[in-house]
Structure 1
Amino acid sequence: MGEYSKALSFYEKAFEIFQKSLPSNHPLLAISYNNIGSVYDSMGEFFKALSYYDKALEIDKKTLPSNHPSLIVSYNNIGLVYKKMGEYSKALLYYEKALEIIQKSLPSNHPLFASSYNNIGGVYDSMGEYSKALSYFQRALDIWQRVLPPTHPHIKSVKESIETVKEEIIKNS
């Protein structure tokens, strides 16, 4: 826990410097908000994390094109916190917004597609919607197998997720 408070202290100092020297909607402030939110997320302080992630998203939406990759980060961060809080419909909403930007701005085999599919699959898994989860996990695996080395941890992890949801589908049929 001591390391989190140290990280938070450094991020807050950086934020104070940026706040004094940059306009209120500067992208570096959004990055700082995301960094601080990430520490709170890691500490399990989800409402504080959401507050900072929302501030980052507000700046990004005001200052960046609607399909900018930084928005993907903000939407994914918020989606992750909602998933951890068990608010799955909100998590899906944010993960799907991230996926929309990915679809508009990146080639179809980009690894962010796989990450996005994996995130959405994880929410469906948590909701007990195993067939939907399986579909998304398989899409993630398909892309990761094309762009990552076979021993990459993402591939191992999504294969395990696929096996788990397959077992659930069999168990529930």
Structure 2
Amino acid sequence: MFFTSITFAQSKTLQDTLLASQYFKKADSLLTDRKLDSAIVYFKKALPIYKKENAWERMAGCYNGISESMWRNRKLETSFKNAKKALSILEKYLIRKNQEEAYAYDNIGNYYENISDFDNAMKCYQKALQIQQKILPENRKPFRNCKIL
């Protein structure tokens, strides 16, 4: 009986994580296709599942995806808040200098650029680039919306 409940719990966790992953992939694809409102819906569907499973990096990825969708929709304040949520999760639960941190700084840079605060935009873009240069192999390009390059 004990092993059955553990197996069932593990199976439920795996199913939930797979569902969240499907939502995330769908959202990312919609973001790439610039179907921004739909992308936000799927990122938001994945968020509570990742939170329940303590999948912090994926949660940050959802907030970053929402942030990018929002700045592309010109909803700048909401974009900024979501990028800050991503950074907050990363600072609290994960090691620094990872892909999601770079993505968050890039999103914040986009926010500042769109409100014509170019000094702060450049600082954020430079942080994003520095992280990218530390974590990516030489032959790999930074993520799709990195402005500094």
What TM-score range do you get, normalising by the shorter chain?
A: 0.7 to 0.9
Instruction: Say which SS state the counterpart of residue 153 (structure 1) adopts.
Output: coil
Kindly report the root-mean-square deviation, in angstroms, between the aligned alpha carbons of the 2 structures: 2.7
Distance 1:37 1:147, change over 3 A: closer
Percentage of matched positions with identical amino acids: 26
Aligned match of 1:28 = 18
Q: How far did 1:136 drift? A: 0.9
Counterpart CA distance in 2 for 1:118 and 1:71 is: 17
TM-score w.r.t. the length of structure 1 is: 0.65
- By how many angstroms is 1:54 displaced? 1.2
Higher RCO, Cα 8 Å, sep 6+: 2
Paired residues of 2:112 and 2:121 also in contact (CA < 8 A) = yes
Pair member with larger Rg: 1
Specify every segment of 5 or more residues in structure 2 that has no aligned partner in the other structure, as ranges. 1-10
Alpha carbons 1:26, 1:59 under 8 Å: kept: yes
Taking structure 1 as reference, are residues 127 and 152 closer, same or farther at Cα in structure 2, changes over 3 Å only?
Answer: farther
SS, match of residue 154 in structure 1: coil
Q: 2:34 aligned to 40, 44, 63, which one?
A: 44
Q: Does the 8 Å contact 2:24/2:43 carry over to 1?
A: yes
Give the aligned length: 136
Q: Tell whether the 8 Å contact from 2:64 to 2:100 is kept in structure 1 after alignment.
A: no
Alignment-mate amino acid for residue 118 of structure 1: D
Q: TM-score, normalised by structure 2?
A: 0.74
Structure 1: 5+ residue stretches without partners: 1-20, 161-173
- Provide the residue aligned with 2:107 in structure 1: 119
Distance 1:152 1:52, change over 3 A: closer
